[in-house]
Structure 1
């Protein structure tokens, strides 16, 4: 029995049992999907989606798209070449015959085509798979209504109109369309305004219409690049923020001089790095949220290491890297550098930490 045959044998109940074995909490269930915490990298956010039609998972924080074997590999900490261990673990947990000791002896495995196929679906390879644009007409079902909460947070109506921000009255969500560098619609995200939904699923989720999710690989785009590319190339610098809202705030502050894009997370993917280098920039400014309360805390050291490992080390060989780091308590805990207004952002820019080029 090949590994592909094993996956074909797994029922929905089997998948559920495996998730339970890994300690998953089911936050949401319907006929189309489940949402659990991100056990694939031992996370706690309800951002691991299982889509029943395609029998595939998508982690919307770090891991991207994968199958059940990929989830197990992440949970167990197996490397790509150790996928056989994940297969064996699945077979043991489900008491599937002839699998406890692997699919026969190692030297007898002949399904090399499956192995090559599985390696092509590893995380790094998925990020290079072309996105299929959606029909922009889907945006007609939403209303041009703008929340006062965002206006109070420094986002103008003009900016929201520019970025096609709308509102879904029946789901009580702010609608955030995502466009690629060629202005093609590649995804639609919803920002919930209902506290119960935020507690369960987080603030931002892919939007669902009927049985269809308008989702995309967030690591395969830089939000706002379609609007700000010209300024980025002219100034030869780019500022990386976490969320779309920060792009809107800087657009309101600087208008056509805005050189900000959002990673939609706190990790820089290889695909995003390629986009940045393609733009010919000389300086990359990292402006992530303040994920520490005091400078002398372990939390602060951990966050600094995360930024170094996930972003700085990927860029410093090619460009000058600087970091906005709040050393003077200008921001509150978990604030973006853009949250306290233009004056505070400019002060942080004046105090940015120079990382330099790693040759």
Structure 2
């Protein structure tokens, strides 16, 4: 799509805009009449960004002195050229450069997989790699809130979950999906209550490493890769804590990863298809609110599942009887409910 056409497509469903912004690290969203306010990656001002919901998607980054459109703003934040920003958005939304979105080419991923390995390697390893020493500024301990959420101390230590006493945040290191000893992202989750976050204007999540692209990685793969190969299945959750809970309930024999949201990027699809055995199964386990949102729902989950289904057995978890809470992950209610939802997952024919 050209720039004007792409803007029209994004405005047709503003959730697409949120997907783009979240994956780029923007946070603390507040939608007002005809505009969205939010905070820049690694900044805390919830009104530091203003995006007008008009045909031009005019965008101001007040703390960076930028005023222009959304594509230029993403270029500033991601330090990318215009064509790279366009490619990033198309990839994130599952679009080709000349296709409108919901059309699906079942051979597209297979064509990409046929490219030589050097090209693939360069395309999916754009995150900067850091030695584990970047974690030394955090406390190597487990905050009580982690245990209270049903995550065992052994699993928390296995995933190097830490604590930042300065900002009062639980810290989740993200290791690279190829080089398991290298850190590519550090996600910090506030321990404040929802009321405290709103009162103080504090974002719930903070990315400590600038320019970490979640769409180019899978949280937890460094721990689950061997189990995925042995059990021939991979579970795709949205967030880190769901992976930690799945590992806890399986006594360390987990097969899950976290996407960092509920949109599956082209790079993540390619990676999973290359790593999962041909007789393996992809299981999509999005949060309950994705299942029930009017602009998403089961149709949206199906659209994500169909990125895999031509090549692997694919299924998705769906809470048909409304067992989960509004914001719950399928694993949040404990082993009995999780086992039930997993058993009755919907398989795509």
TM over 0.5: yes
Partner of 2:237: 241
Q: 1: distance between equivalents of 2:43 and 2:283?
A: 43
Q: 1: distance between equivalents of 2:267 and 2:41?
A: 32
Which is greater in Rg?
Answer: 1
Q: 2: distance between equivalents of 1:343 and 1:228?
A: 22
Q: Secondary structure at the match of 2:215?
A: helix
Indicate conservation of the 8 Å contact 1:228/1:256, yes or no.
Answer: no
Q: 2: distance between equivalents of 1:30 and 1:227?
A: 27
Query: Gaps spanning 5+ residues in structure 2: where?
Result: 1-33, 55-59, 90-95, 99-121
Q: Give the one of 308, 315, 318 matched to 1:325.
A: 318
Q: Secondary structure at the match of 1:256?
A: coil
Q: Secondary structure at the match of 1:343?
A: helix
1:94-105 matches, within 5 Å, as none
Partner of 1:285: 283
What's the CA shift string for 1:181-237, capped at 9, x where partnerless? 321111111111234784446422201xxxxx4441001011110000001011111
Deviation at 1:286, TM superposition (A): 0.7
Indicate the structure whose relative CO is greater, using CA pairs within 8 Å and at least 6 residues apart. Answer: 2
- Between the two proteins, the alignment pairs up a number of residues equal to 272
Deviation at 1:137, TM superposition (A): 1.0
Q: 1: distance between equivalents of 2:39 and 2:298?
A: 31
Partner of 1:228: 224
Query: Gaps spanning 5+ residues in structure 1: where?
Result: 1-21, 43-47, 82-125, 208-212
Q: Give the one of 269, 278, 281 matched to 1:273.
A: 269
Partner of 1:261: 257
Counterparts in 2 of 1:290 and 1:131: CA distance versus 1, 3 Å: same
Matched, 1:205 2:206: yes
Q: Secondary structure at the match of 1:304?
A: helix
Length-normalised TM-score, structure 2: 0.66
Q: Secondary structure at the match of 1:25?
A: strand
Counterparts in 2 of 1:306 and 1:259: CA distance versus 1, 3 Å: same
Q: 2: distance between equivalents of 1:176 and 1:52?
A: 27
Partner of 1:25: 37
Counterparts in 2 of 1:260 and 1:30: CA distance versus 1, 3 Å: closer
Indicate conservation of the 8 Å contact 2:324/2:333, yes or no.
Answer: yes
